[in-house]
Structure 1
């Protein structure tokens, strides 16, 4: 049985809107205009386009500009033949809003997980040559600021050797920078700032901080943090003469709580193996926390903000080092009194070493 309905139509060839009549015959239809008959067209080729001002607009597959426009309530006989309306988008309408919301939430969670976890997967895959090249460029930006004296170098080497089983893979330096900070760089580079060494009251305190930074190196935290905060392009593309800015970012760059916990665990294990008491590290953390409070009130503690921003301290971390103390164990000092004096005064004795940063630091 043929059925007729009045609609507006654009044929896609001209901008003239035509008032036509639809003649439906089963799953096909013709458009009738002034006794002219256009078609046949198949309802299976009709696509829902949009709804504007109470007008439903339909198109025809593979025919640009072809439109049928139906205003007001559409008779059920015709609406049953036309494609369903899309309220939110193709796949949302197919799933339904509820299921689509759940799917989107799961997809978003998966995307966040990939962003957060991919650095852990990618970091071990970065070639060592890239890691070393990046580290060399960053260390080079400290040019002339590393302190060196025969006795001071020997004391530092002794400290590194006692804390790591493969010290040949590491390059540890003391920089003549009056800031309480330490930083691990790519390529196994670790830099202790002279301000931190001077603030320490014993070599055991420096040993704990140094072992923590070595932990960041051994656990690949440095590359993970670079990948997470600066992207793969920066890591693989190199510093391109902007190493100062990258060093700035790395000094301010904080590790995740999990990474800090892993580095602390590495430090405690290294101290235990070297028979160095973790009491010093716990005391150092406690004193820095107190200095941070004074610095915030403007009394003292100049330079403490650098270490606190990149190495957030907490009572839990201090307690963890205290709990790692083995009762009855005969600990020995990380350095002799003479060696400690030589390390602590190394930058004062080395008059050739430049002081301050070799790049803008904020």
Structure 2
């Protein structure tokens, strides 16, 4: 009986260690067991190279003309910043999406620009992606899914297949519900600081829901991403500070999108 009891204790200990390593990236002071800033930057560049093989990127001048006024207002309201943010515009009119990778990189599909009704809606989406960066969700996700040894091997060998898989992983909706809720909450706060009403995000998700481009409400139990109904309610119920007034962007959104895209 004593032997079995000791064996059970060992199993429990190893089980707890496994859970610790699985649910949270390993971090021990004085050791290099997390993805360093240098490695993150190198991996971000490899991911960008892979995306450039898959999509056509708009010139920086076009990206700056469309996204610049929006991103400047958001970033001017964000202090301190965890990253030096870089925004990229990808040519795919069928993709209504934006996603973050690593090292402050955020990618926006042209289909999203054509879908949103105004720059304020896009600002809310970008604020959400910035939230994933500021909350450390992207590095945590890769560490949880792949582990440092795999990422280090990718950086050392430059394996094109693995890099492509990492790109797909970051592009997909794979954050857990807690991370998504926290990114939404971050977006609401940043929008208010930027004098943009969080209800703009509710309008965006309402449009998605109306056009049946979001998940059905009854599938939320199997989806990691919060459904549109809950996100609409969250944005509409956000408590605005007393005296808050939205400051509209001073350019014609439809005209600039039509002329550039």
Q: TM-score range by the shorter chain?
A: 0.7 to 0.9
Partner in structure 2 of residue 191 of structure 1: 107
Which has the larger Rg? 1
User: Cα deviations across residues 145-172 of structure 1 (Å, max 9, x unaligned)?
Assistant: 2223746523412211211234970111
1:163 to 2:67 alignment: no
SS of match in other structure, 1:179: coil
Counterparts of 1:162 and 1:124, CA distance in 2: 36
8 Å Cα contact 2:177-2:224 kept in structure 1: no
**1:212 shift after superposition:** 0.5
**1:290 shift after superposition:** 3.7
Q: How many residues align?
A: 241
User: Cα deviations across residues 250-281 of structure 1 (Å, max 9, x unaligned)?
Assistant: 22251122211221121111101100111111
Partner in structure 2 of residue 146 of structure 1: 57
**Structure 1 alignment gaps of length 5 or more:** 1-92, 297-308, 349-362
Partner in structure 2 of residue 240 of structure 1: 159
**1:220 shift after superposition:** 1.4
8 Å Cα contact 1:285-1:313 kept in structure 2: no
Partner in structure 2 of residue 320 of structure 1: 234
1:172 to 2:81 alignment: no
1:118 to 2:33 alignment: no
**Structure 2 alignment gaps of length 5 or more:** 217-222
1:222 to 2:138 alignment: yes
8 Å Cα contact 1:179-1:193 kept in structure 2: yes
**1:232 shift after superposition:** 1.4
Distance 1:135 1:256, change over 3 A: same
Q: TM-score, normalised by structure 2?
A: 0.78
The match for 1:286 among 203, 206, 216 is 206
Partner in structure 2 of residue 130 of structure 1: 39
SS of match in other structure, 2:111: helix
Partner in structure 2 of residue 79 of structure 1: none
Counterparts of 2:49 and 2:205, CA distance in 1: 30
8 Å Cα contact 2:137-2:179 kept in structure 1: yes
Larger fraction in helix: 2
8 Å Cα contact 2:96-2:109 kept in structure 1: yes
Counterparts of 1:341 and 1:226, CA distance in 2: 39
SS of match in other structure, 2:56: coil
Distance 1:295 1:229, change over 3 A: closer
Counterparts of 1:245 and 1:102, CA distance in 2: 38
Q: TM-score, normalised by structure 1?
A: 0.58
The match for 2:127 among 207, 211, 214 is 211
Partner in structure 1 of residue 255 of structure 2: 341
